Every structure is written in structure tokens, then in C-alpha cells.
Amino acid sequence: MRFDEGDLPVPFDGQEQQHSISRLWVRDEPSRSLDYASLAAISDSFFPRIFIRRRAPTPAGTVTLSTFFHADSVMLAEQGDRYMLGTARALNYRNSYFDQSAEILREVHKRGPRQSKAATA
């Protein structure tokens, strides 16, 4: 993982943030061609957003995890082992629960303007 923004705050400084966004480039290590198992593992690579928001150690666990694949096997094969852009965010924090959503985007280079395709976690 290579973070563009929103890396894990180490050391925690307790300075609450207005956002909880992480944006990073991610792929399997060691590198391998992308398949559904790999994409499922990558979609679960984001740490809890509360760590960015509160910048303090906070108990957190996964209650549910739903992953939706918006890609077919041809698109996965085209991706190969290149990095993909992952973005994660959360909006609600209350009663020791918080939501979190994430997207994994791949770049598609074909004729015409650059396009993006997504798998949403």
C-alpha cells in the first residue's frame, strides 16, 4: 500500500479530524494477477476510519462486511498485477458504531478519454 492521504496516524496525537478519508494505491504483495479472491482481500485492507477521525486508540470491530464486484473476469485479467486506487471514508460515529465505505478503482486505457471502473466494498 502506498498512501496518498489518510495514512494510519502513528503516533496517535488525539487531535480529532474533520474527515476520515484514506486514499491509497494498493495491490497484492507479492504481486499476482488480479482475481476475485485477490480483489475480496484488497477490499478488506482498509483500517477503521475512527483511527483517522479521532487519532486515538479506539476499540473497533467489523459487524458486517458487504463487497460488491462491478467487474467481470476479463476486466480483472486486464488489470493484471498493477496498482489500483482505493478510497475509504466514514460519515456516522455513534454508540460505538460507525459506517465505512470504500471503493477500489482501476484505470482503463482505451481509445478516447481515460475511464475508471470500480469494485465497491
Tens digit of each residue's pLDDT (9 = 90 or more) over 43-78 = 998 999 999 999 998 888 888 889 999 999 999 999
* Identity of the amino acid at 63: V
What average pLDDT score do residues 5-23 get? 90
Q: Which of 116, 115, 102 is nearest to 42 (CA)?
A: 102
What's the DSSP call for residue 118?
E
pTM: 0.79
| Dihedral pair phi/psi, residue 98, rounded to 5° | -155, 150
Is a pLDDT exceeding 90 seen at residue 89?
A: yes
The residue assigned the cell 454508540 is 95
How far is Cα of residue 44 from the mean position of the Cα atoms in its chain? Answer: 7
Average pLDDT, the chain: 85
